[in-house]
Structure 1
Amino acid sequence: MKIALLGYGKMGKAIEKIALDRGHEIVLKIDKDSSDYNISDADVAIDFSLPSAAFSNISTCLENKVPVISGTTGWLENYDKAVDLCNEHKGAFIYASNFSLGVNIFFQLNEYLAKMMSNLSQYDISMEEIHHTQKLDAPSGTAISLAEGILKHTDKTAWKLDEAGTNEIPIVAKRIENVPGTHTINYNSEVDSIEITHTAHSRQGFALGAVIAAEWIIGKTGVFNMKDVLNLS
């Protein structure tokens, strides 16, 4: 499989190593915020770029009928446009806020717990996410996905960074050097607390999930997510 890496920072380099170890070829590496490249030699593209570049990268891939996997966060105001473009060009597209296999199982666990807790109004819900100091967006895309999973199954109406109102889920975002990613959901009452946490130990899990998603999407048409890739739907 010939892979284009759109974004060649720490994640791009981790993806490159895993892809090569799995027998794939890297045919393009874009290190800067650039739209001046030829994507046509690639079988699939993996985008871990900047929020300012992600939609342009995804558009280029879809317009050239190259399946694209994107793990860039902070660009989702254009997500619906990307879906429309994918459908228009009969392309293939996966966006995930987190490609870690463990995190995607954690997403499912989070929704299952939210369903169980939905009628227990004595529990207050809160969230915390911790990432490395280079992370540009807050809260993380993973934290937003977790919050949206809770919103589907409770009477909460929104999430909010830091302090939140009665019907909102507060998310505390911390930035600490050399932390790949930790996400915690807490249900707290006067008598006890229930807490679930996912802790990433390195970027390798994110990179492996992205490569697995790229392998899975070859030959497919449509807009997918990691539930499809892992058959969790």
Structure 2
Amino acid sequence: MKVALIGYGKMGKTIEQILIEREHEVVLIIDKENAADLTSANLQKADVAIEFSNPESAVHNMMACFEAGTPVVCGSTGWLARKQEVEAACTSSNAGLIYASNFSLGVNLFFELNRYLAKLMHPHTSYDVSLTEIHHTAKLDAPSGTAISLAEQVLETYTEKKGWVNNTDSNPEALAIESLRIDPAPGTHTITYRSAVDDIAITHTAHNRQGFALGAVLAAEFLAGKKGIYNMRQVLGL
């Protein structure tokens, strides 16, 4: 498989390492120093692109991939206000896209556990639910994309809550997300159900970037040669 890497920070370099280990070929690397090389001609050399840049560049980069006809796996977060626009562009271009707030196998299993626990806890009204996420200080967005995904999964069941808020104010009508930035944490997410008598909590703690990077490569292997919009549940058969 021939791959274009868009974004060459720590995550991009880890993805490159895994691609090489799995005997794939990196045919294009785009970083801020050579952004002008993100052309259709260059992208068309790749079977699939993997995009891990930043909230400001992600939408532009995905649109370039759609225009080139190159399927794209996007792991950038912080751009979801434009998700509907991006998905419409993907569909109208007959292109391929996988977006995930987190590509880790462990996190995607955690997502399934989160959905189940919300359904289990919802009838027990003595418990209130909240989220905490911890990331390194270079993390540009807060709350994290993973925390937003977890919150939205809880809100699928807790329909009486009016969305989520990124603070810990005691507003029972909203789902509180606390965002902490502490080095060198690659990512910890905790969902807590708290009552006057006890707490029930589930936590996922990442030890390094390897899990995220491997999941992105698995997604790229799945997406290469496909058109349409997919998700990690489909990639992993969950």
Please confirm whether the aligned pair reaches a TM-score higher than 0.5, indicating the same fold: yes
Amino acid at match of 2:24: H
Mapped pair 1:126 → 2:105:
no
| Larger displacement relative to structure 2 (20-29 or 72-81) | 72-81
Structure 1 counterpart SS, 2:43: coil
CA displacement, residues 143-174 of structure 1 (integer Å, 9 cap, x when unaligned): 00000000001122211011342111111100
| 1:64 aligned residue (62, 68, 72) | 68
Mapped pair 1:228 → 2:234:
yes
* 2:71 and 2:96 in contact (8 A); partners too: yes
| 2:120 aligned residue (102, 111, 116) | 116
* 1:35 and 1:57 in contact (8 A); partners too: no
Aligned residues: 232
Structure 1: state its 5+ residue gaps.
none
Distance 1:219 1:46 in 2: 14
Distance 1:177 1:192 in 2: 30
The Cα of 1:35 is off from its aligned counterpart by 4.7
Structure 2: state its 5+ residue gaps.
none
Structure 2 counterpart SS, 1:127: strand
Seq. identity, %: 56
Distance 1:30 1:90 in 2: 24
Mapped pair 1:180 → 2:180:
no
1:1-233 alignment runs, 5 A limit: 1-32=1-32, 34-37=35-38, 38-154=42-158, 155-164=160-169, 165-232=171-238
* 2:147 and 2:189 in contact (8 A); partners too: yes
Amino acid at match of 2:9: G
Q: Give the TM-score of the pair, scaled to structure 2.
A: 0.95
* 2:189 and 2:204 in contact (8 A); partners too: yes
Q: Give the TM-score of the pair, scaled to structure 1.
A: 0.97
| Larger displacement relative to structure 2 (48-57 or 31-40) | 31-40
Name the Cα RMSD after superposition: 1.0
CA displacement, residues 124-153 of structure 1 (integer Å, 9 cap, x when unaligned): 111100000100101100000000000001
Q: Structure 1 residue runs of 4+, over 4 Å off?
A: none
Amino acid at match of 1:28: L
* 1:186 and 1:195 in contact (8 A); partners too: yes
Distance 2:212 2:23 in 1: 18
